[in-house]
Structure formats: C-alpha cells, structure tokens
Amino acid sequence: MASDIASTTIARQASTRLVIERVLREGPVSRAEIARGTGLSKQTISDVMRELERDGWVREEGQVQGAVGRSAVTYAIRPDAAFVLGIDLGGTKLHLALADLHGQIAAEVVEPTTREGGSAVVEQIGRLADILIERAGIARSRLRGGVMGSPGIIDPATGAIVIAPNIPGLDSLDVRGALRTRLGVEVAIENDVNLAAIGEHWRGGSKGANTFAFIALGTGIGMGIFADGRMVRGARGAAGEIAYLPLGGDPYDARGLRLGTLETAIGSAAISERYAALGGSEKRTVREIFDRLGQEDEAARVTVDEVARVLATAVLAVHSVIDPEIVVMGGSIGVRPELTERIAVHLAHCMPQPARIEVSALGSRATLIGAIGSAIDLVHRALFGVGTGASLLALPSFADVAA
C-alpha cells in the first residue's frame, strides 16, 4: 500500500512538472495544447490544473479558438503567486529589488554599502528586504527565494565567497547561512559579473547568442562566459577572471599578484595613472578623462587608445578560446562608446573576422536583472523541478513571455 501511494505521488509530481514546464514555455496555453505537447491524458492535465489553480500558481488567461469553432480556456503562471529578491552587492553600493515570477519589479532600493563588512552587510540586506516587502504590501510568506551578486570568487559547490577583495569579512562568514537566518528563505550567491552576463542573456542584447562573453570594466575587470547556452563557472568558480590574463604588463611583477596583470594595467586607477604620466592632471577622474576627448585633449586620446589596444588583445585571447558570437561590454568604463569604438578599430588590425563588440543594453542594472532571473529559476526548480540552474536557459521563451 505504501509503495502504491509513493508511486502515485511520484507520478503526480512528474505530471505537474510536465504541465508547469509547458505553461512556462508556451503560456498562455490550453489544456489540449498541453496534452499534445506532453502526452498526458486530458483527465490528468485537468486534475493538475485544478490543483495549480486552487493553490494559486496558475490562472485563466483568456481563450483560444479551436479548429472546429469551439473556444478553449488558456492558462498562464500567476506572476504574483510568489516573489523573489534580487541583490546586487558592491563595494560601495547595495541594490535590492523585489520582483514577481514574471520579473516585474514591485519595489527596489539603493543605498551605500555599510563599511562595517561581514555580518553588518547581512543585516543591511535584511533591513532593506523588510522595507521592500512593506512597500510592496505583500505577506512575507510570498517571498520564496533570492539570488545575490557579489564581487570576488564564488565556490560553485558551496556558494561560499572565497575571495571578496572589496568587502571585508565576507569571505570569513557563512553568508548563505546568515542570509537564510535573517530572511527566512534560501539565497544563492553568484559572482556579480556572471549575473550581469545572465541578465544580458535574459533581457539584454545577447538574447539570441548561445556563446558570448560579457566583459565588465570599471574599478576592476571581470568576465562572464556563456558557451553553447550555458554559464561557464570553472572547477573553482574562477572562470572569467580575466584580471589575471598576462596582458598589459609583466605577469611575474609582484605588483600584479593582488589585482592581476590586466586589471593593474587598465583598471580605473591605472587609467588615471596613464593620463597623468602623459602630462594630464593627476586630479582627473576617469569620467573626466573620457569627457576631455571632446576637448581635443591629446593625453586623454592617447590614454583611451592605449587602454582600448590592451583590451582588444584581451578580446582576441578570449575569442581564441571560446569563439563568441558577440562580446558585450559593461561596467562604468566598459560601456563608454569612445572605448568600444577604439577596441573595434584595434581588433580589425589583428583579426581576420573581428568579434562583434556591443555595449550592454542593461548598463548598471545588468547584475540586478540577472539576479532576479536566476532567483525565478531557483523558485521554479524548488517548487516544480523545472529549470537548469543556469537561469531560465531551459526555458528560452520565458523571457519573451515575461517581457
């Protein structure tokens, strides 16, 4: 008897998974269309849909005209059935957003990251999450999970932050456990640049690309890689750490051990140093250096051109390894068109078929959007067993449905 009950339960779970996956892929969708796509009986589908409606996960979305003149009710996921938390944790800024299952943001907040590090950061995230839930006017029980983007290297097996150079104390704390305790839900942790790549793939300019690289250049430099439709993290979570590429300087120079040779050569501090060495003012910010390009500042022109040349070499190296369809530039410096234009010029001199360079469509919100998309995927998998862990990549039409 017990084995019969267990078999029935497993069969119902499998049926629910098939139905939900079909609704996510094709919704709004009728029961007849689900039957054709899954092979399940109409009675089984009716039973599953009845349960999903009762529990508030799906709703009637409209009607579709049948081949013989009859109309059929169509169903779609209820976007407000659950909410997720997207967190973009930076060294200077903390950005949180509460979103529904279609990725629609219900409330968001930004404030400077506390300088006390460690547990204080977790408490700050908890306080801001409380504010968002109150603003959105939802019951806390409807928050079902979250994803946080963090700088540094994330262990792919445990989610632990192995190295967090800009936020002291995080790499010595069980951040996932602390967030679970404070928020009452599971919060996965991912490298912030990886999440930015996921955001671009979900709702940015690289939707249709199965293999692409997202390079973020700002204070430092990092990269997220999609290869054949999947996020590449590497054995220790360090895939895409191009800051350590032996370009722009001597990889054996001890000054590059902490930040990496490439980052030491073209990070924001290096750009300011280059400009000053060429006769420019030592007090200019990177933004001011770029702005001076329009004022025929020769030191600014040479500085940007040198940085673009080094970056083009990095793109060439990346292209040789993963052969991307597109390279998306992000970060406060990487999105500057003056830079991407020069990168393209240099690539034309060293590649027979230069990689296509584009500026991030999501800009500074890429990591946050990637966190939301990944959190939705985690909820789908936790509740229904649907998804791949690569943020909606098994559900290619869901982004279009949610947009």
Cβ burial, residue 253 (10 Å; 0-12/13-18/19+)? exposed
Extents of the domains making up the chain: 2-77, 80-197+365-402, 206-360
Q: What percent of the chain has pLDDT over 90?
A: 57
**Average per-residue pLDDT in the chain?**
87
Residue 400 in this model has a pLDDT that exceeds 50: no
Residue 337 in this model has a pLDDT that exceeds 60: yes
142-184: per-residue pLDDT in tens?
999 999 999 878 887 777 787 766 777 887 889 999 999 999 9
Q: What is the DSSP pairing of strand 230-232 with strand 221-227?
A: antiparallel
Task: Give the class (CATH, top level) of 206-360.
Answer: alpha beta
Tell me if 269 sits within 8 A of 258, measured CB to CB: no
Tell me if 212 sits within 8 A of 325, measured CB to CB: yes
The pLDDT assigned to 213 comes to 96
Q: How confident is the model at residue 387 (pLDDT cuts 50, 70, 90)?
A: low
Q: 26 CB contacts (<8 Å, ≥6 apart)?
A: 33, 37, 397
Mean pLDDT of 123-147: 96
Residue 3 in this model has a pLDDT that exceeds 90: no
Is residue 17 within a helix (H) or strand (E), and if so which, with residue range?
helix 2-26
The pLDDT assigned to 21 comes to 81
Residue 390 in this model has a pLDDT that exceeds 80: no
Q: 65 CB contacts (<8 Å, ≥6 apart)?
A: 71
Among the listed residues 332, 325, 139, the one whose alpha carbon sits nearest the alpha carbon of residue 218? 332
End-to-end CA distance of the chain: 47
Tell me if 141 sits within 8 A of 135, measured CB to CB: no
Same topology between domain 80-197+365-402 and domain 206-360:
yes
The pLDDT assigned to 372 comes to 97
Angle of helix 268-277 versus helix 298-322 axis, rounded to 10? 140
Using CA atoms, how far apart are residues 366 and 35, in angstroms rounded to an integer?
37
Q: What percent of the chain has pLDDT over 70?
A: 90
Q: What are phi and psi of 295, to 5 degrees?
A: -105, 20
Is residue 344 within a helix (H) or strand (E), and if so which, with residue range?
helix 337-350
User: What size, in residues, is the chain?
Assistant: 403
Q: How confident is the model at residue 397 (pLDDT cuts 50, 70, 90)?
A: very low
54-110: per-residue pLDDT in tens?
888 888 877 766 555 567 888 888 899 999 999 999 888 999 999 999 999 999 999
CATH of the domain spanning 2-77: 1.10.10.10
Task: Give the class (CATH, top level) of 80-197+365-402.
Answer: alpha beta
Mean pLDDT of 374-393: 68
Using CA atoms, how far apart are residues 52 and 288, in angstroms rounded to an integer?
56
Number of CB atoms found within 10 A of residue 143's CB: 21
Tell me if 180 sits within 8 A of 104, measured CB to CB: no
The pLDDT assigned to 45 comes to 86
190-235: per-residue pLDDT in tens?
999 999 999 999 999 887 899 999 999 998 899 999 999 899 988 8
254-270: per-residue pLDDT in tens?
878 888 999 999 999 99
